[in-house]
Amino acid sequence: MHDISEDLEAKGWQDFANCLGVDPDLFFPERGASTREAKEVCKGCVVRDDCLEYALANGEKFGIWGGLSERERRRIRRQRALSRRSTLDAEATAEGLGA
Ligand code: SF4
């Protein structure tokens, strides 16, 4: 299989997006409309992780990114925040114990 990591450095992840040329409206559906078609496009996308991380890093509030809806991305952000907090708590406890 073709390793795209070198190409990714030379270009940008967007150049490998499966959604290039696909109707953007599909990825920004009206509230309550189906996201199934967009998610199908994302399923086979080789830069899905890059896309998701971009959306999370930039706080994208609308649309399907990395195959996930706004609500699904919010859940990931919450989980990551909780895990960061518990790591900090564990470090503070370890420091308090003189570790
Ligand atoms: S994961 Fe989906 S929205 Fe993101 S680049 Fe790939 S096809 Fe496009």
Q: Which of helix, strand or coil describes residue 2?
A: coil
What pLDDT score does 97 carry? 73
Q: Which residue type occupies 59? A: G
Domain boundaries, the chain: 5-70
Taking 80 as the threshold, does the pLDDT of residue 2 lie above it? no
Spatial CB neighbours of 25, under 8 Å, sequence gap ≥ 6:
none
Q: Is the CB of 51 under 6 A from ligand 1?
A: yes
- Taking the C-alpha atoms of residue 61 and residue 81, their distance in angstroms, rounded to an integer, is 17
For residues 64 and 39, the answer to whether their CB atoms sit within 8 Å is yes
Residue pLDDT, tens place only, 49-98: 999 999 999 999 999 999 999 999 999 999 999 999 999 999 999 888 76
pTM: 0.82
**Which residue carries 């290039």 as its tokens?**
20
What pLDDT score does 67 carry? 98
Taking 70 as the threshold, does the pLDDT of residue 26 lie above it? yes
Mutate to test the pocket of ligand 1, among 11, 23, 26, 27 (most ligand atoms within 8 A of CB): 27
